[in-house]
A and B are shown apart, each in its own frame.
Chain A
Amino acid sequence: MEADQCKLKVDSYFMHFTGYQPQSSRAEFCEDIPEVGRTIIVLDFVDQSLRDIPVSVNLARDDGARTGDTMNTPSSILYIPPKKYPNGTIKIDVNFEQAGRYIGMVAIENGERNVAKFPFDVGRGWSLIRLLAWCLVLVSAAIGTFLWALRRNAIAQNLPAASEK
């Protein structure tokens, strides 16, 4: 966890962010969510003491308006009120219906309120399968062109020989 790239810091506490889209892939996502649709976001508490602190979560469309640390805004698509998570993990099941820029906000209530924000894109990324599919198409096209050129060259070389006969 020390060199964790998917780490989220709230006050002095750390959480680990993981995204899943089980209907399209078994891959884990660290930041951006490649497809729209059902998504599971999991926040794991790296610090044990975070399990004793109420945590709230808000996922909202990033409409450009900076509303400070306000939670449960009109642009919210999901809001989980403050509660404690003794298991050290928050599982967020959300359906992103539209592609675009979103912002996640995690607030902890440890005497004072601290909020961490994590912006992410949905439906704009290249999924691994799509990337592989495009690579396959490009490689197939390149091989096809090469074979066509080879065959054309061979026919052109054979033509005079045929006419000599």
Chain B
Amino acid sequence: MLLKLIKFAAVCVAFIAGVSHAAAHGERAQEPYLRTRTVQFYDVHFSKTEVKVNERFELTGKFRLMQDWPDAVTPPDIVFVSSISPGPTIARIETYLNGWPARQSFARLELGRDYEFRMVLEGRTPGSSHIHPSISIKGSGPLVGPGQWVNISGEAHSFAFPIKTMTGLQIEDLQTFGLAHAVGWHLAWLAVAAAWLSFWLARPLILPRWLVLQKGREDLLISLRDTGAGIIVSAIVLVMVFGGYVRASAEYPYNVPLQSGLNRVAPLPASPAYAEIKVISATYDVPGRSMRLATQITNKGSEPLSIGELTTANIRFLNQSLPVAMANVDPSYPRDLIARTGLKLSSDTPINPGETREVRVEATDAVWELERLVSFLTDVDSKFGGLLLLYAPNGERVIAEMGGPIVPVFTELK
């Protein structure tokens, strides 16, 4: 028996020891069409990447809900703005969408429009955590923005989450508030359940009762003592339920129920549609890790426009010969999501107002494979999407959606 117990303990220890720490949370496992054709994050900024336990930092940015939303994905009718981390390594203190508090979900966000978020976060568990902004859509799940490693230093036990309630009650640490109540109630209910089970387990069980039933003597199955025990336990349960309710109501007379209503927020003002982009053809050179697009760009504005960046699924391909595009890269943006060699263009001169020009765009980098964005070629709906960022000489930025069907190739097209 002792040997068996030792073996069991050894198996348990081996199992626990073999469980490795999850450093990421499966963002690369999401289907590419979800990441390239739904939500495009941009201007994402982490105010700090080194924080202490209980130190606050901000995660800000914007996102565009793509007009060419995939049919297979539920539209953003109910949306919750949040952050994603590997476990509770951070505490989310405040969230805003277009300046509105985002404690609840938002209803009916508009496709083709932009929204701005701001989150105040706080370091909780020491270690290096991969933190993402995320947009959770009912029916579709979370769609994550670019993830950045945030190093949290200090001691886990020193974390505290003090709040003051609307009634003026000062809670020193929300994470342990009411813990004794919760444990106490669990133990009380476990005691009642154990007593009830023990009462019946001490009596003849299934087979003797079945035999009694076969003989037509149901009257023997439930004795007067059984009925009495049932009444007593029912009374105890009722007293516990109503007594607990009365006590809780007396102790906390004012409480707010869980909020299930939806907020509505207007999108950011639409940027003028200065640039219109038509994708004539799109190919992905599978072994070359290169997306090649033949585009037709029309400048409908009054200023010349230069192509500065192609961004999709949080990956950024920059026109490195355009200083304003390079200046738009936030120092806190994850470096592994910025393609090293940038964007290659067949024509780098500004597109004049009223001009329509065919421009070949090439985005080559191993990041396509490393971010697992290539499997969209095997999707039933092989389309891609992204944002093209263009800049006027005065630095004004024009964000234009682009997308369309894409064909995988194994040879270099000239």
Q: Which residues of A contact B (CB under 8 A)?
A: 1-2, 16, 18, 20, 22, 26, 40, 42, 44-46, 48, 51, 86-89, 91
Contact = CB atoms under 8 A, between A and B. Distances in A.
Interface in B360-399: 364-367, 369-370
Contacts of B336: 48
Interface stretch (B96-104, B281-289, B323-331): B281-289
B138 to A, nearest CB: 29
Interface string B20-31: 000110001000
A19 B341 CA distance: 24
Contacts of A1: 28, 370
Nearest to A3: B20
Interface of B: 23-24, 28, 286-289, 335-336, 339-341, 364-367, 369-370, 408, 410
B287 A16 contact: no
A22 B409 CA distance: 9
B335 A42 contact: no
Contacts of B370: 1, 16, 44, 46, 88
Given A87-B341, A88-B370, A89-B289, 14 more contacts: A16-B369, A16-B370, A18-B369, A20-B287, A44-B369, A44-B370, A45-B366, A48-B335, A51-B340, A87-B366, A88-B340, A89-B364, A91-B287, A91-B288
Contacts of B339: 87
A87 B340 contact: yes
Contacts of A2: 23-24
A89 B289 CA distance: 8
Chain B CB within 10 A, most for which of A2, A40, A48, A89? A89
User: Which 3 pairs show the lowest CB-CB distances between chains A and B?
Assistant: A88-B366, A22-B410, A44-B366
A89 B410 contact: no
Contacts of A46: 370
B317 to A, nearest CB: 11
Given A40-B410, A91-B287, A86 B341 contact: yes
B299 to A, nearest CB: 30
A15 B371 CA distance: 14
B364 A40 contact: no
A89 B366 contact: yes
Contacts of A88: 340, 365-367, 370
A18 B336 CA distance: 20
Contacts of A51: 340
Given A2-B24, A87-B365, A42 B287 contact: yes
A42 B289 CA distance: 9
Contacts of B341: 86-87
Contacts of A22: 286, 410
B343 to A, nearest CB: 12
30 contacts: A1-B28, A2-B23, A16-B366, A16-B369, A16-B370, A18-B287, A20-B410, A22-B286, A22-B410, A40-B410, A42-B287, A42-B369, A44-B369, A44-B370, A45-B366, A46-B370, A48-B335, A48-B336, A86-B340, A87-B289, A87-B339, A87-B341, A87-B366, A88-B340, A89-B288, A89-B364, A89-B365, A91-B287, A91-B288, A91-B289
A48 B339 CA distance: 10
Contacts of A40: 287, 410
A24 B1 CA distance: 59
B132 to A, nearest CB: 16
Contacts of B408: 26
B156 to A, nearest CB: 24
B295 to A, nearest CB: 21
